Each structure stands twice: as structure tokens, then as C-alpha cells.
Chains A and B, each alone.
Chain A
Amino acid sequence: MTRRVLTRLGTSLLVLWGAVTVSFTALHLTPGNVADVLIGSSIVTPEVRAQIIADYGLDRPLPVQYATYLGRVLRGDLGQSYQLHESVASAIGAQLGASVQLTASALVFAVVVSTTLAVLTARRARWIRGLSSGLELVGVSIPTFWTAILLLTVFSFQLGWFPAAGGDGFSGLFLPMIAVAIPITTMLTQMMRENLELILDEPFVLTARSRGMSDLGVRLKHALRHALVPAITLLGWVVGLLLGGMVAVEQIFSRQGIGQLTLAAVTGKDLPVVMGVVLITAVLYVVVNILIDLLYLVVDPRLRGAA
């Protein structure tokens, strides 16, 4: 158990260190003078330029620059966006809430809907499964940004049910959430249904039924928990996918958020912001993975005792 925790912690630190290193490498791989790269396309005074060179230690040897950068990140200093005229940390902080809201609601939506669909459609009449798997196939194939455009056109412009841009609270959140959630919902439904169908063949399911349990009872009380184990494994990857899908969706629905911030930074060559986003998402990944490990322990008792 302690061994497990230590390994997890070690890996987490390694991931964070790796993300810092990737950012640093990106900075130095970018063609042009590093100071110019950091400044991007904005215009700054020579004093600011000199300050940047001093802050990043750009006049010193590369290992020192690396150490300086690492030290700054450790202190929580993600640098300065010269285009936004604010620190990267506060720029990200201002946008983080909206994105977390979108991602979290999409994740909850996906998990709830896919679990329900999987429980209802596993081992059912051929046409139900056919319909469900046909929809799933379209769901995984359709590009998120196109779904977003279609949803926006139909429900906001044509029907006027939802605000076309921005919008507060649930009404503004609903369409973007659906757009981001569709691919992962369909994927999870598919996977959970396949798992459930395998599990419903297991002897312990037969045993439960031989005690007089109803079909729905068996699905909910026994089979579902088993089907969740592999789904949990995918969760980290799913969160990554959600964060990716967010970029285009935020732009299409003119929503605030990390996606918009990143996109503007990429097109404006605002490298400090892009690096900051990369680091923040790495932290997010680490947190999600720790949660996944805890979830495993909740779901599967066999892992609790394992050293």
C-alpha cells in the first residue's frame, strides 16, 4: 500500500517536472531570439526587454536558464503575458472557472448518460442495440466543432431556445456541454455496454439470479460495478479529450475559458500563456490520476490489500 502511494507520488512529480521541461524545450526550439519569442508580436520598451532577460537569466548558460525557469515555476510564477499585459497566472485564473465548469458538467453528463444507456441496452432486443450502436458510431465519428456549429445553428439561430453567444448559467452552458460531451458519451456507452455484456455471462451473475434477484437488480447491484472498473481507467484520457474539445467549442459559442485564451495565445504567438496552460493541464492530469487511483480502491476491494 505505501509502496503504491510512493510510486504514485513519484510518477506525479515526474510528470510535472516533465511538463516543465517540455515547456522549456518548446521555448528554446522556437526559431528566433528567446526574448523576442517571449514578447511575441507585442511591442515593449527596452527596459521591459532587459527585465525579461534578467528574469529568465537569458544572458547566462542554458543549464542556469533551465534552473532559473524551474525555480520560478516552483514558486508558482508562470511568467508574464506581454500581449495581455498581465501575469500568466492571473490570465489563466480568470478563465479557469468557466472551463472547469464546462469540463466537469460534460464529464458528469457523459458518465450519467452512458451508464444509463449501457445498463438499459446491454443484452436487449437486436433493434435496440442496433439503434444504439448506430448512434454511437455517428457520435464517435462526428467532429466536435461541427457538432457545435450544428447545435448553435439549429437551437440558437433557428429555434432560439438558447443564447447564441455567451449567456449565463445553465442556458449558456447547455449547448457547449452537449457538444463537448457527445464523443465521450458515445465512446463510454459503447465500452460499458460491451463490458456489461461480457459480465452478464459471468457465473456470479447466474448465482445472483438463482437467488431470486431481478434482471435490473443484477445489472445495477452486481454487473454495473464490474463494468465501471475499465471505464475508470479511461477517465484520465477522457479528461484530456474534454480539454481538447473545449478549444473549438469555446470559440464557436463565444464562451470565456482556457480554450479561447489558448487559441488567442497560439495565433498571437503568446508563448508564455501557452506554456502556462500546458503546465496547468499537467497539474490537472496528476490530480485526476490520483482521483482515479482512489476510485479504484473504492470500487475494487482486491486492490486494497495488494502491496
Chain B
Amino acid sequence: MTEPIVEAAQSEDLVTGPIVEVTDLHVSFGPVHAVRGVSFAVHPGECVAIVGESGSGKSVTARTLLGLTGDEARVRATSFRVEGVDASGHRERQWRAIRGRRIGFVLQDALVSLDVLRPVGKEIAETLRLHRAVPRAETAGRVIELLREVGVPEPELRARQYPHELSGGLRQRALIASAIACHPRLLIADEPTTALDVTVQAQILRLLAERKRDGTALLLISHDLAVVAELADRVLVMKDGVVVEDGPAGRVLSEPEHPYTRRLLAAVPMEHAKGARLSVLEGEPARPIPPRPPGEVVIEAHDLVKRFRSRTAVDGVSFQLRAGRTLGIVGESGSGKTTTARLVLGLLAPDAGSVAIDGRPWEGLTATERRELRRHIQVVYQDPLSSFDPRFSVRRILAEALDVGGEPRATRRDRAVELLEQVGLDASVLERRPLRLSGGQRQRVAIARALAPRPRVIVCDEPVSALDVSIQAQVLDLLADLQSELGVAYLFISHHLGVVHHVSDHVLVMKDGRVVESGDVRQIFTEPRAGYTRELLAAVPRIDAATGVTVRKAS
């Protein structure tokens, strides 16, 4: 059901013009002005990337190109053309002819972006059916072809399976297949690799690069500069609804002009050694963080084994952590790193092996002794909000932790304020509930709570994974400062190699419950010995400081 006007636009002479072109685009939702004056064009075979943190307006911009901003949005632009046709007056019917047929759209995390109650084959067939792209009888065959095209093995079987039966990588491929089913000339990918493990991310990026080589234009939306560096010809950096920088990818990433772009690049932890600051303020020389000499052993884990039913989640993990040092545990999902953390925290009992905190093993302790020992080892979670009782204010959260730490009632308030100042907050947040704080503030409160009983070790379980890069940089700097001030040790768990590289002294690489490789951070990241470590490192996209082009280590 293609509108005649769109039909005309598909004629040969327009093939070479830009696929989409917007000038001075504004989108507002009621009083919120989400996009303010964005202009860009995407040409055939080109990859344009829009980079920004949450709330920058990048996703809204992408959705506007499909007319998917919703009824409550007000969209305004001096020029808004899709394949040369003015789209500013398009109605739902005309947009529907464009969606899926002229422009494909891929979201992050296929587990929620595909309908979990339908087989993936049906989802792909849906695009074909809606646009009558192939005769009805050929739909099934075309679905199989498409799955093969995006590199899904055994496509006949996969087409009949449901999203939860596929791995993250295959799901994402199926989602891409449903978006490219009608061979749209432009594919918009909104954070297409964000929820994926790093090795899978590399595969998906390779798939997108293939589409681009085959002539499909790409509009890539991401928070991660390193991801877009690999594919993009042009980069737009957005902040608060405005494009602050726009230019060829190589130039933007190697010689950023705008301070915000510089800050974003500096905040990427990969290329900075431990001790350097990530959150650099303009014009202020980076103050290095003084290192501390290692102290006595605070965690001694010996040959830990933990089984859940028939699956062995942790298998023979041993390590040592000394006061004032950081041990990083890195691995993909399902590698057993979080189970290891829970064993260390004494929240799970190992099936074999032992953990000793400050020389005292968990096993054989009475309930009172265990509680006493818990004070020495605290924890900071990925999602601080769920780790706070929703009824508690910041004051009560800290008071409870201080009470456990033996702080007398009279001095608790002063000590709470002191803790808040230590983590870069002030007394004004005391009476607030965590729900009313920003993500970064919540994580700071979580750190303050962890510090309250004056622990020897803090277990950090993916503490920055849910944060924007610039907030992530601030929190990592805060952790480094606290370590140098207080001599606290960190057991730092993350899937993010860059973050682990930045914070750790020693690193444990885990896969399927086992330690694949362990050693000094420099050795692991520069001369990895295990094949898996090399594979992981090779998969990480990184920006070459000189050229701005993605480089991958040869694997």
C-alpha cells in the first residue's frame, strides 16, 4: 500500500541524493525541548553516527526519522526530506509505507525488542507481509534466506524458535534480519550492541559493516564513542538536544574541537593507566592520584567451587587481595564473577574451598562472629536503587550502616555528613530518598554506606555499568581517591575491559566459572597469554588517539 507520492520518490534519478535530510529539527514533548536545531543528512552507503549520553536527544532524533515520536511530540524543521520527498506533513499512513520498507530500525537488546511470545521467523515474516515484499507462498523461504544472510546457523530451526531460546548474539541478528527484510536503503541502529558481551558486540558490528559494504546507509546511535569509531564516516556529538560537534569521524575522534567531545573521549577509561584521572575539568591540569604501597592480605580465596544443581558456576578460583590494592575480575555474562563475589561476601557458602577475610575464614563462625566479620567487607552494587530500602531516606540509610559500625547515636549525624562530603555530596541530600537522586548520586550514597563501618575491603560488583561515561569517570575517580586516602582494598567486578584495566593492580580473567588467566594488569593487557584473553581484547573496539580510527589488536 505505497502512497503514490512515495512511489515517485523511488524513481531512478533520486537514488544518488541523500536518503534522509533534516535541517534545524526541533522536537518537544510538552515543556521539554528534547531536540533543538539538529541538521544532518545521510547519503547512500554512508554511516552517520550520533553520539551522546542519556537525555542528549539522540534517540528522539532517530525516531523522528520514522515518524515514531508519538502523539504528544511536536516536531518542527525547516526542511525534513525522506528520499527527496518532503516528510514534514506525512500522516501515519505515509509513515507506515516508509517504516520497514525504506528505513529499517534496530533497537538494543533483542530479548525485549522482539515479541517473546512469537517465533522469530514470524517476526521477520511480519515485515515482508506488511509491505507485500514477496508473494505469500515465498515468505517462509525468504525468511530462511534472510536469517542466513545475517549469519544465523541452521536458519530453518531458528526461524521456529522463540527469542528466549536463542543466544543474545543470534537474537540480535534475527532482529536485524527483521529490519532489513525489505532491503531498506537506510538502517537506523539505536544502541545495537549495548546489552551484548564484548565478543558478540564485535560480531554484530562486523555484520553492520557488511550491510554498509553492500550499500545500505547506516545511522548509528550510541553512547559509546569506541563503538561508532569502527563504522562511522561522520560523527555528530549531541548534548542536551544540541549537536555540539559534527564532522568526519577521524577528525572528531582524533582532534575534537568541542570541550564536551574532549571530555567524553577522556572519560573512556581504556587508554588511561591506573592513577590518571578520567574526569578532567577544562583548563585544570590532571592531578595524578598518588599510589599506596600494598599492605597485608585482606582476602584470601582458596580453590573456591560452587555448583547450582548440575551447573558449576565457580570452579577452582583462588586469589589474594592486599590492603590498598585493587583486584579486577573480568568476564562475560555467565562467567561466574558475580557468584565469586557472593562467595567472598559470605552470602553463599562454597561447595569446596574457603574464603578468609583478614585472616578469618567464613566457615565455622557463629552468627554473631559472621556479622562482626561482615563489617570488614562491604559491597557496592550495579543498581544502587534496589539496594536501598525504598522507604528510607539517605540519612536513615547511612545511620543504619553507622550503627552497625558501632558509631554512637550522638555523633551519627555528623559522621553521615562527613561521609557524604567524602563521596562528593553534601548535607542537602540527607533527607532525600534515593528515588529522588540521580544515578551518579545514588552510587555515591552507596559508596558512602559501604564506607560507614570502616571496612578493609569493598566488593564493587559492576558499580559503573549503568552510568553514563562522564558519570562513570567521576565515580571511578572517586573510588581511586578513597583508596589512596583510606587504604581500602577493592575487589572490582566488571564485564568492561577498559574499566578493569583502568582500576586494577591485578586482574583475574574468568570464563565458564574458571580463571583463564591471572596476573599483573600490565601483563594481562599487553602480553596476554591465554587464547581467551587475547580474543576478548581483540573484540574491544578502541580509538587510536592519533588517527581516530578504530584499531583492533591482531588476534
Residues of A within 8 A of B (CB): 202-204, 206-215, 221-222, 225-226, 299-302, 305
- List CB contacts (< 8 Å) of B106-125 with chain A: 107-109, 112-119
Instruction: Tell me, yes or no, whether B417 is within 8 Å of chain A by CB.
Output: no
Of B93-101, B248-256, B336-344, B524-532, the one touching chain A? B93-101
The stretch of B126-134, B218-226, B428-436, B455-463 in contact with A is B126-134
Choose one: B99, B112, B162; the contact of A211 (CB below 8 Å). Answer: B99
Q: B503 in the interface, Cβ–Cβ < 8 Å?
A: no
B117 CB contact (under 8 Å) in A203, A207, A215, A299: A299
B-side contacts of A210, CB under 8 Å: 66, 68, 99-100, 104-105, 179
CB closest residue in chain A, given B108 = A203
CA distance A201 to B112 in the complex (A): 11
Q: Which of B96, B97, B105, B115 has the most CB of A within 10 A?
A: B115
Cβ contact within 8 Å between B126 and A301: no
Contact at B107–A212, with CB atoms within 8 Å? Answer: no
CB of B112 within 8 A of CB of A212, answer no
Distance from B64 Cβ to chain A, minimum over Cβ atoms (Å): 12
Closest chain B residue to A223 by CB distance? B115
Complex Cα spacing A212 to B114, Å: 15
- A residues in contact with B489, CB < 8 Å: none
Bound-state Cα–Cα, A225 to B122, Å: 15
Q: Contact at B115–A204, with CB atoms within 8 Å? A: yes
Residue of A nearest to B165 (CB): A305
Q: What 8 pairs across the A-B complex have the smallest Cβ distances? A: A210-B105, A211-B100, A212-B100, A212-B99, A211-B127, A203-B113, A212-B96, A203-B112
Within the complex, the shortest CB–CB distance from A112 to chain B, in Å, comes to: 21
B525 CB to nearest chain A CB (Å): 35
Q: Is the Cβ of B68 less than 8 Å from the Cβ of A213? A: no
- Residues of the A chain whose Cβ atoms lie less than 8 Å from the Cβ of B92: 214-215
User: How many of B's residues come within 8 Å of A, CB to CB?
Assistant: 32
Pairwise interchain contact B115-A212, C-beta atoms closer than 8 A: no
Shortest CB–CB separation between residue A224 and chain B, in angstroms? 10
Please, which residue of chain B has its CB at the minimum distance from the CB of A202? Answer: B112
CB distance A212 to B162 under 8 Å? no
Give Cα A128–Cα B418 distance, bound, in whole angstroms: 53
**Distance (whole angstroms) from the CB of B63 to the closest CB of chain A:** 8
A204 to B123, CA, bound (A): 10
Residue of A nearest to B131 (CB): A212
User: Which chain A residues border B178 with CB–CB below 8 Å?
Assistant: 207, 211
Q: Is the CB of A207 within 8 A of B175?
A: yes
Known interface pairs A211-B130, A212-B99, A215-B92; A225-B175 also in contact (CB < 8 Å): no
Interface string of B47-71 (1 = CB under 8 A from A): 0000000000000000000101000
List, sorted by A's number, 11 A–B pairs whose CB atoms are closer than 8 Å: A203-B112, A204-B115, A206-B107, A207-B115, A211-B100, A211-B126, A211-B178, A212-B97, A212-B131, A213-B96, A225-B117
Q: Which residues of B contact A211 (CB under 8 A)?
A: 99-100, 105, 126-127, 130, 178-179
Pair A302/B164 contact, Cβ less than 8 Å: yes
Given contacts A207-B114, A207-B178, contact A212 B130 (CB under 8 A): yes
Considering the chains assembled together, what is the distance between the CA atoms of A208 and B66 in angstroms?
A: 12
Kindly provide the distance from the CB of A212 to the nearest chain B CB, expressed in whole angstroms.
4
Residues of B within 8 A of A305 (CB): 165
Residues of the B chain whose Cβ atoms lie less than 8 Å from the Cβ of A208:
115, 126
Residues of chain A contacted by B162 (CB below 8 angstroms): 301-302
Distance, CA A214 to CA B179, complexed state (A): 16
Give Cα A203–Cα B123 distance, bound, in whole angstroms. Answer: 14
A213 to B95, CA, bound (A): 10
Give every chain A residue within 8 A of B101 (Cβ-Cβ). Answer: 212
Q: Which of B112, B126, B179 has the most CB of A within 10 A?
A: B126
Residue of B66, B92, B100, B165 with most chain A CB atoms under a 10 A cut-off: B100
- In addition to A207-B178, A209-B99, A226-B117, 7 A-B residue pairs with Cβ atoms within 8 Å of each other are A203-B113, A206-B68, A211-B99, A211-B178, A212-B101, A302-B117, A302-B162
How far apart are the CA atoms of A196 and B273 in the complex, in Å?
A: 49
Contact yes or no, B116 A302, CB < 8 A: yes
Contacts of B99 in A (CB 8 A): 209-212
User: How far does the Cβ of A221 sit from chain B's closest Cβ, in whole Å?
Assistant: 8
CB distance from A192 to the nearest CB of B (A): 16
A195 → B minimal CB distance (Å): 13
Instruction: Return chain A residues, CB-CB under 8 Å to B109.
Output: 203
Chain A residue with the shortest CB-CB distance to B164: A302
By a CB distance below 8 angstroms, the chain B residues around A204 are 112-116
> B127 and A212: CB pair below 8 A?
yes
CB distance from A56 to the nearest CB of B (A): 50
Taken together as a complex, chains A and B put the C-alpha atoms of A225 and B114 apart, in Å, by 14
Which residues of A are found within 8 Å of B114, using beta-carbon distances?
A: 204, 207
A206 to B68, CA, bound (A): 8
- Inter-chain CA distance A222–B179, complex, in Å, is 17
Complex Cα gap A184–B92 (Å): 36
* B window 270-322: CB within 8 A of A: none
CA distance A225 to B115 in the complex (A): 10
Residue of B nearest to A204 (CB): B115
Closest to B99 in A: A212
- Closest beta carbon of chain A to B176's beta carbon, Å: 11
A301 to B160, CA, bound (A): 11
Compute how far the CA of A208 lies from the CA of B118 in the bound complex, rounded to whole angstroms. 12
Q: In the complex the two chains form, is B113's CB within 8 Å of A300's CB?
A: no
Question: Nearest-CB distance from B180 to chain A (Å)?
Answer: 11
- Write out the residue numbers on chain A whose beta carbons fall within 8 Å of the beta carbon of B98: 212
Q: Which residues of B contact A209 (CB under 8 A)?
A: 68, 99
Cα distance, A242 to B127, chains bound together (Å) = 42
In whole angstroms, how far apart are the Cα atoms of A222 and B105 in the complex?
Answer: 18
A129: min CB distance to chain B, Å: 14
B1 to A, closest residue via Cβ = A212
**Complexed CA–CA distance, A211 and B164 (Å):** 21
Q: Which residues of A contact B130 (CB under 8 A)?
A: 211-213
A212 vs B127: C-alpha distance when bound (angstroms) = 7
Rounded to whole Å, the gap between the CB of B476 and the closest CB of chain A is 29
- A213 and B126 contact, Cβ closer than 8 Å, known pairs A208-B115, A301-B162: yes
- Residues on B with beta carbons closer than 8 Å to the beta carbon of A302: 116-117, 162, 164
Give the docked Cα–Cα distance between A211 and B128 (Å): 9
CA distance A299 to B126 in the complex (A): 19
Chain B residues lying within 8 Å of A206, measured Cβ to Cβ, are: 68, 107, 113
- With A and B bound together, what is the CA distance between A206 and B104 in angstroms? 12
**Which residues does chain A contribute within 8 Å of B165, judged by CB atoms?**
305
Q: How far is the CB of B199 from chain A (nearest CB, A)?
A: 24
Least Cβ–Cβ distance between B274 and chain A, in angstroms: 37
What per-residue 1/0 map shows which CB atoms of B149-187 lie under 8 Å from chain A? 000000000000010110000000001001100000000
Q: Which residues of B contact A301 (CB under 8 A)?
A: 116-117, 119, 162
In the bound complex, how far is the Cα of B161 from the Cα of A302, in angstroms?
A: 10
A300 to B178, CA, bound (A): 21
CA distance A128 to B143 in the complex (A): 40
List B residues 419-447 near A (Cβ within 8 Å). none
List CB contacts (< 8 Å) of B207-239 with chain A.
none
Q: Which listed residue, B107, B119, B131, B164, touches A207 by the CB 8 Å rule?
A: B107
Q: Which residues of A contact B113 (CB under 8 A)?
A: 203-204, 206-207
In the complex the two chains form, what is the Cα distance from A213 to B68 in whole Å? 12
Q: In the complex, A290→B68 CA distance in Å? A: 42
Q: Which residues of A contact B126 (CB under 8 A)?
A: 208, 211, 213, 221
Taking the closest CB of chain B, its distance from the CB of A130, in whole angstroms, is 17
Q: Could you tell me the distance between the alpha carbons of A305 and B160 in the complex, rounded to whole angstroms?
A: 14
Which residues does chain A contribute within 8 Å of B68, judged by CB atoms? Answer: 206, 209-210
- Once bound together, how far apart are the Cα atoms of A134 and B388, in whole Å? 37
Taken together as a complex, chains A and B put the C-alpha atoms of A211 and B107 apart, in Å, by 12
Residue of B nearest to A221 (CB): B126
Q: For residue B131, which residues in chain A have a CB less than 8 angstroms away from its CB?
A: 212
